[in-house]
Amino acid sequence: MATPSERRSEYLYPRVRRAVESTPAATTRTRMRILAALAIVPALTALVVVIASEAVYGRPAAGLGIDVASAAAVLMTLALLAGLALASTLFALSQGPGGLGIASTWLVSIVALVVPVYAALTVLQPLHSGAADVGLTGVTISPWGVRCIFIATVVSGSVLAIFAVALRRAVAVASGLRGGALGAAAGAWGGLAVFAFCPSGETQHLLVGHVLPIALFTLLGGVVLSRALRP
Amino acid sequence: MNATGDRLSSLMERYARGEDRVFEQLYGLLAPRLYRFCVRLATSVVEADDCFQETFLKLHRARATYVPGANPLYWAFAIARSVYLTRLRYWRRRPEQLGAARDVAEVGELQVHDTTPEAEVAAQHLHDTLASELGRMSEKNRVAYILLKEENLSAREAAEVLGTSVEVVKQRAHRAYESLKSALSTAGWSEYGNPV
């Protein structure tokens, strides 16, 4: 004997079928979109850094070459920041074995840790002496990091949009938290870009121009992305 | 996963690849439990019907996001809950349109076989008490209880569906259980459904 739920779902079948038949559905698998995003994001970040740095300082990746006391320390920090961006991206984009994403504790960790880890790596012990801020390069560097905020916004905004496309309709659970984690990951790519671009060593500049955009994109991801991510 | 789960997973994988002709079989396996879940979430037939249909539509639109090997039922539960929460937020912004909700008992969720009229009345009372208490408790506690006690998911599976930790799911389900036990006791029933 059919249960009431079976009878009711059978009764609803024609309506559901009609609605489904008249609704288009994407066919590009999410895994493909995630792989494409993982290929595009580092290339995009590098491209923006090279173009911006050439335009402003006349050399690629000025932050890695101007006013640097230790090349090894810069490369180590660059590797750590790249690792931070990549790891947060992989966790935030992961669909998990059950298709419902990774555990919420991991997402909370990403949201909570990306900004402080980035700040600890770049602000607590700046790799630049601050000579570039007082005219070493002949380029005026704003103490409020206006140029860096712009570059971080371009990179993080583009990366966030790429993430949104990659995971569109794919997050059935905790979409706000996932949006925040994606925002933090996008912010980390923006942070990596300004680290490679900017030779400033001033604390105020680093906090406002480099760290603040990451915090803002974490917030933005949580607020704005949620709707696009839900099925 | 059991044999049905494997079959469901294989059908969903084919549907995700664009094989529209498997929809009917997929619906046949997925719909009854999904509808029951929607009824328990929504506590009214009209709302459950809408939630169920919208869930299937979203499942269809999001089919390319399905992860091969995942349990489609749990995925559908997660979508249904997301749909329900979105609808709940919508109705909370427009409280004047709330109402016209019929209780789940009207669909015939209550099944009584070979009993006396007195037993039917008693069963109806028991059902009403439970349905009313489930409808009154918070959505978070209710859905944790439904997944663990009615859909028989493990705490880990329920935590995945709800996007939270195992401990939180257990706490919520326990709170729901205590609340149901208290409501039954007040209405003159033991926690096992026997008159006190």
The per-residue pLDDT for B139 is 86
Place of tokens 């499942």: B59
The pair phi, psi for residue A130, each rounded to 5°, is: 105, 0
Nearest-angstrom CA–CA distance, B62 and A171: 9
Q: Tell whether B74 is within 8 A of chain A (Cβ).
A: yes
pLDDT tens-place string over residues B183-193: 888 877 776 66
Q: Work out the minimum CA distance from B86 to partner chain A, whole angstroms.
A: 10
Nearest-angstrom CA–CA distance, A79 and A73: 10
CB contact under 8 A, B56 and A6: no
Interface of A with B in 157-186 (CB under 8 A): 167, 169-170, 172-175, 177
Q: Is the pLDDT of residue A77 over 90?
A: yes
The per-residue pLDDT for A116 is 96
The pair phi, psi for residue A59, each rounded to 5°, is: -155, 150
Residues of B with Cβ-Cβ distance to A16 under 8 angstroms: 27, 31, 52-53, 56-57
pLDDT tens-place string over residues B1-20: 677 778 899 999 999 998 88
Neighbour-count burial for B95-132, b at 16+ CB within 10 Å, e otherwise:
eeeeeeeeebeebebbeeeeeeeeeeebeeebbebbbe
pLDDT tens-place string over residues A158-182: 999 999 999 999 998 989 999 999 9
The per-residue pLDDT for A1 is 66
Q: Radius of gyration of chain A from Cα atoms?
A: 22
Q: Work out the minimum CA distance from B97 to partner chain A, whole angstroms.
A: 24
For residue B27, give the nearest of A13, A98, A169 by CB distance: A13
B189 within 8 A of B126, measured Cβ to Cβ: yes
Nearest-angstrom CA–CA distance, B75 and B95: 30
pLDDT bracket for residue A206 (50, 70, 90): very high
Q: Which residues have CB under 8 Å from A225's CB, separation 6+?
A: A160, A163, A164, A175, A178, A179, A182, A183
pLDDT bracket for residue B113 (50, 70, 90): low
Q: Tell whether A227 is within 8 A of chain B (Cβ).
A: no
Tell me the residue type at A42.
Answer: P
Read off the tokens for A150. Answer: 């712009």
For residue B78, give the nearest of A6, A16, A172 by CB distance: A172
Residues of A with Cβ-Cβ distance to B82 under 8 angstroms: 172-173, 175, 230-231
pLDDT bracket for residue B97 (50, 70, 90): low
Q: Is the pLDDT of residue B170 over 50?
A: yes
For residue A30, give the nearest of B65, B78, B86 by CB distance: B65
Tell me the residue type at A181.
Answer: A
The per-residue pLDDT for B103 is 44
Reduce the DSSP state of residue A33 to 3 states and report it. Answer: helix
Nearest-angstrom CA–CA distance, B169 and B18: 35
Q: Tell whether A121 is within 8 A of chain B (Cβ).
A: no
Q: Tell whether B114 is within 8 A of chain A (Cβ).
A: no
What is the DSSP-derived secondary structure letter of residue B105? G
What is the pTM (predicted TM-score) of this model?
A: 0.85
What is the DSSP-derived secondary structure letter of residue A230? -
The per-residue pLDDT for B115 is 66
Nearest-angstrom CA–CA distance, A94 and A106: 11
A119 within 8 A of A81, measured Cβ to Cβ: no
Q: Is the pLDDT of residue B95 over 80?
A: no
Higher-pLDDT residue of B40, B105 = B40
Residues of B with Cβ-Cβ distance to A105 under 8 angstroms: 165
For residue A99, give the nearest of B53, B75, B109 by CB distance: B75
The per-residue pLDDT for B1 is 63
Which of B58, B96, B61, B108 has its CA nearest to residue B80?
B58
The per-residue pLDDT for A138 is 74
Q: Is the pLDDT of residue A217 over 50?
A: yes
DSSP labels, A153-183:
HHHHHHHHHHHHHHTTT---S-HHHHHHHHH
Mean pLDDT of A51-60: 91
A128 within 8 A of A217, measured Cβ to Cβ: no
Tell me the residue type at A64.
Answer: L
Nearest-angstrom CA–CA distance, B42 and A125: 55
Q: Is the pLDDT of residue B196 over 50?
A: yes
Residue to substitute from A1, A3, A5, interface B, most B β-carbons within 10 A: A5
Q: Where does residue A228 rank: exposed (0-12), middle (13-18), buried (19+ CB within 10 A)? A: middle
Mean pLDDT of B70-79: 92
Model-level ipTM above the cut of 0.90: no
The mean predicted confidence, pLDDT, of chain B is 82
Mean pLDDT of B63-79: 91
pLDDT tens-place string over residues A143-163: 898 999 999 999 999 999 999
The per-residue pLDDT for B107 is 46
pLDDT bracket for residue B114 (50, 70, 90): low
CB contact under 8 A, A173 and B69: no
Q: Work out the minimum CA distance from B161 to partner chain A, whole angstroms.
A: 7
Q: Which residues have CB under 8 Å from B148's CB, separation 6+?
A: B155, B158, B169, B173
Place of tokens 């008992």: B105
Nearest-angstrom CA–CA distance, A58 and A51: 9
Interface of B with A in 75-104 (CB under 8 A): 75, 78-79, 82, 86
The per-residue pLDDT for A79 is 96
CB contact under 8 A, B79 and A25: no
Least confident residue range of B65-79, B89-103, B157-171: B89-103
The per-residue pLDDT for A196 is 95
The mean predicted confidence, pLDDT, of chain A is 91
Q: Is the pLDDT of residue A15 over 70?
A: yes
Residues of A with Cβ-Cβ distance to B49 under 8 angstroms: 8, 12
pLDDT bracket for residue B108 (50, 70, 90): very low
Read off the tokens for B9. Answer: 């997973």
Mean pLDDT of A212-220: 97
Residue to substitute from B1, B36, B67, interface A, most A β-carbons within 10 A: B67
